[in-house]
Amino acid sequence: MNNKYRALVICVVIILGVVVDHQPLHGEETLSVVISEIGAYEKSGQEWIEVVNVTGTSIDIGGWSFWENKTNHKISLIHGEDSILESGEYAVITQNNDTFESVYPLEQTTLFDSAWSTLNEKGEEIGLKDDTGEFVEVFTYIPAPDTSLERSDIFWTDYTTENWHQHESGNSVGKINSTQIPIEKTIEENTEQVIQEEVVETPKQIPILEDKVEEKQEVQVIIKEVKIKEKIFINTPPEINVEYKGEVEIKEALTFDASQTIDFDGDTMLFHWYIEKKRIGEGNKLTYSFETEGLYTVELKVTDKHFGISKAYVDIRVKDIKKEIIVKEEVQIEEKDEKIEEVHISEFIPNPIGKDDREFIEIYNPTDEEIDISYLQLDDADGGSFPYSVKEGTILGIREYLVFYQKETGIALNNTSDKVRLLDKKGNILKEVSYHDVAEGVSHIWWNEEWTSTETPTPGEKNSLKVALVSKEKELVIKTKEKQGVIDDIKKEKKGTFVKTNGIVTVLPGVLSAQYFYIQDDSGALQVYMHAKDFPEISLGDIINVKGELSEIQTEKRIKTKIKEDIQIVESGNYQAPEDINDILLDKEYSGKLVRLEGEVIETQSSFIYVASGKAEIAVSLKRHKNVKVSKGDKIEVIGIVQKYKDDFQIVPRVVEDIVIKENKRQTSTSTSTVPGLKGTKQQESKYTKPVIVLILIIGAGWYIKKKYKDKI
C-alpha cells in the first residue's frame, strides 16, 4: 500500500473512531438504565437494587422512582456528586441507606435512598420509572432466597434463568457482576465489521506529516490508539403489526394479536400492553374485556433484546348494546310522538239532530305517512267525561279521516260550552278547541287554517262548507289570531297558539334533522319544524320571519310550519356567535341556543362524552359523529346546540368541525413506531444520518490528503 492511500486509511480510522465514540450503542431509542443486581435475600431494612447506565451518554435519574408492590417509591441522592450516571456507571438504590452503609461502605459508588416494605425472595414485579412516570424497565424477577440475583447480559431483556443467576457466595453490589458478560463481547457478537486492517507504519513514511520529530511521535501515538479491530452495531427497533376488532360490547372478550410484529435483527422481543399507563398484560397476544362503555386507547410497547423500543396505539370503542337499544327505542318513540303531533281534530258535532249518541269527533292525518295513533286520547273539558284511549295498533292512513262516535268513546259534549281535546298517552295536550252555544245539527270544521261552522256534517270524509245560519250569540269563538313577539315571549305562549317571530338561522335543515332547524335572537332560541320537509333555501346567518303553531317535544318549544311560505328571509349575511358556557350548568334557559364549551374530557361512552369545565360537567352527543376519536384527558372545544336528553341537557355539535381537540393526551406521550392503520409516529433519527456524515468527512479528508500530497511533490 503506497503512502498516499495508507495515510487516507489512517484519517478514515480516526474519523470513524470519533463518530463511534459519540454514537449510541443500540440506536436512538433505548432503555437507558437497567436493573443489574437485586439484593432481595438481605435482612429487612438492608435490601437494595443495583442499576447501571447502558448507553453511551450520561443520564440524570433525579426524580425517578423505583416501582415495587404496585407502588412508586421516589429515590433521593444520598452519596455522590450528583444524580447523573455516566455511561457504564453503576449506582445502588437502598431500602434504608443508614443500614446499608453500615454493612457496605461503598465510597466510590453513587447511592440513592428509597423506602419499601420488603422485596419478595420468591420474586415479584419491580421496575424503574423516569421523572415523567413512564416505565424505563419493568419485569418480574425469579426467586433468589440465598444470595443476590445477578444479570449476566445487561443488554438482554430476558428475565428468566437464561439471563439471571444467584451469586455463588454473596453479592457484587456496586461493581460488575460475577456472571456478567463483558460489554465488548456483547458488542462483538451483534456487530458488522467496519474496519479490520491494522495500521502499522513509521513516521517518515507518511508524506502529509511535517519534519518535526515531536509531531511524528505524537501522530504515531494516535496511530497506536486507533490500531483496532472495531465493530459497530446499529439496532433497528421492532416493526409492530397489530390485528384487533375496533368495536366491541361490554364484557366481550377482545383479542389483540401482535404475532406478526417483526424484528429485522432477529432479536427476541417482549410485549407489554397498557391502558392509561396501567399494564394489563404481556405477550404477543392478549385477550381482554372492558367493564364499561367508552373509547379506550390501548398502548402496545415492544422491546427487543438490545432495548430497541417501538410503541403503537389502538383505539377501541366499547358499546353498551342494552343502552343503545333503549336509546333507539327512545328515538323511535320521539319520532312517533313527532308524527302524532301532526294529527288534527278536523270536525266535531256537539248537538246533532236526533239522538246525542250521534255526536262524533273526527281526526285527520294530513301527512304522506301512516301514523300509529295507539293510545292517543280524546277528551272534552277537564273534569268532564273520562278520556277515551285509542286502541293499540290503530293506524291512521295517509290523508285519512277517522271518526269516533259517542257510543264508542263515552264522551258527551255539552250543547252550551265545552272543549274538544286531543291528548298524547301521557295526557299532554296536543290539540284543543273551545266552543260556546251552538245550533242543532251544526258541525264545527277546520277550514282554510281556521275553525268555522257548517250545516253539512261530513263524518269520515273531506269537510264541506255550507255556512251555518246561527245567531251571534252562538258563533264559534276560536278563530285563530297570530301572536307576535321575540322568541322568549313566544315560548311562554300555550301550545296550539299561532305565533310569528324573527330569528337568525344557527342550524340548517338536514343537519340535525331533515324536519327542523334552529333560529335565535337576543332573548332565546327556538326550533322550526315542518313535517313535509319542504323548506325554502336558507343559509346560516339569515334573519328569517317564521309563523306557525307553537308545539312542544321533549319539553322543547318549537314552531310547526305547514308550507315554505311560512318562512320568509328578511336579511342575509349575519353571524350568530356561539355563547360561551364555560363553568355554567345548563338548564332550559339555554335550550336551542348555539353555545361554545372548552374543557377536559372526563368520561367517554359509545354515544356521549362528558366534558368538565370549571365546576360544570356537560354531556356532548357524538351520535352523529361516532368517527371522532376523543379520549379521556383530551382538552377540547365544542360548538353546538343545547338540547334536552332525558333529564339532562346536552350539547349537540352540528358538524364534525364543531369538535376541536386542542390537546391530545397521546400526542404528549413518548415517541412511537408508525403502524399501518394505527396512530403513532416514530420520532427516531434516520439510520442513514450518521453514515452520511461519516462519508462526507471521508471525502473531505481524502481531498485534503490528495492536495497536501501534491504540494509535497
Residue reference for cell 467496519: 194
**pLDDT higher at 670 or 50:** 50
- Is residue 91 within 8 A of residue 48, CB to CB? The reply is no
* CB atoms closer than 10 angstroms to residue 581: 21
Q: With CA atoms as reference, report the closest residue to 146 among 171, 178, 125.
A: 171
Highest mean pLDDT, choosing among 42-51, 173-182, 702-711: 42-51
Query: How many angstroms separate the CA atoms of 272 and 157, rounded?
Result: 13
H helices of 74-206, in order, are 97-103, 183-189
**pLDDT higher at 196 or 585:** 585
Query: How many angstroms separate the CA atoms of 509 and 536, rounded?
Result: 10
- Is residue 312 within 8 A of residue 240, CB to CB? The reply is yes
> Which range, of 177-186, 212-221, 448-457, 674-683, averages the lowest pLDDT?
674-683
Q: In the chain, what is the straight-line distance between the N-terminal and C-terminal CA atoms, in Å?
A: 18
Cα 224 to Cα 182, 200, 204, 210, distances in angstroms: 23, 8, 16, 19
Query: How many angstroms separate the CA atoms of 35 and 432, rounded?
Result: 81
Mean pLDDT of 368-374: 90
Q: With CA atoms as reference, report the closest residue to 28 among 55, 5, 10.
A: 55
Q: Does this model's pTM top 0.85?
A: no
Q: Which string of DSSP letters, residue by residue, matches 55-69?
A: SSS-EE-TT-EEEET
3-class SS at 4? helix
- Is residue 339 within 8 A of residue 374, CB to CB? The reply is no
Task: Output the pLDDT for position 76.
Answer: 93
Task: Output the pLDDT for position 542.
Answer: 93
Task: Output the pLDDT for position 203.
Answer: 43
Residue reference for cell 342494552: 322
Rounded to the nearest 10°, the torsion over CA 103, 108, 112, 116 is -30
pLDDT at residue 474 tops 60: no
Task: Output the pLDDT for position 224.
Answer: 36
Task: Output the pLDDT for position 627.
Answer: 78
Task: Output the pLDDT for position 586.
Answer: 86
Q: How does pLDDT run across 319-331, given as a tens digit for each residue?
A: 887 766 655 555 5
Cell representation of residue 241: 403489526
Q: H/E element holding 218?
A: helix 213-225
- Is residue 603 within 8 A of residue 610, CB to CB? The reply is yes
- Is residue 553 within 8 A of residue 591, CB to CB? The reply is no
Mean pLDDT of 70-95: 90
Residue reference for cell 331533515: 514
Query: How many angstroms separate the CA atoms of 8 and 14, rounded?
Result: 10
Cell representation of residue 381: 273539558
Task: Output the pLDDT for position 678.
Answer: 32
pLDDT at residue 683 tops 60: no
Task: Output the pLDDT for position 701.
Answer: 63
Q: With CA atoms as reference, report the closest residue to 246 among 302, 296, 321.
A: 296
Q: H/E element holding 420?
A: strand 418-423
- Is residue 153 within 8 A of residue 161, CB to CB? The reply is no
Cell representation of residue 465: 262548507
| Contact partners, residue 697, CB within 8 Å, separation at least 6 | 15, 19
3-class SS at 661? strand
Amino acid at 371: I
* CB atoms closer than 10 angstroms to residue 135: 19
The per-residue pLDDT of the chain, averaged, comes to: 79
Cell representation of residue 653: 355539535
Query: How many angstroms separate the CA atoms of 186 and 193, rounded?
Result: 14
Cell representation of residue 72: 412508586
pLDDT at residue 145 tops 60: yes
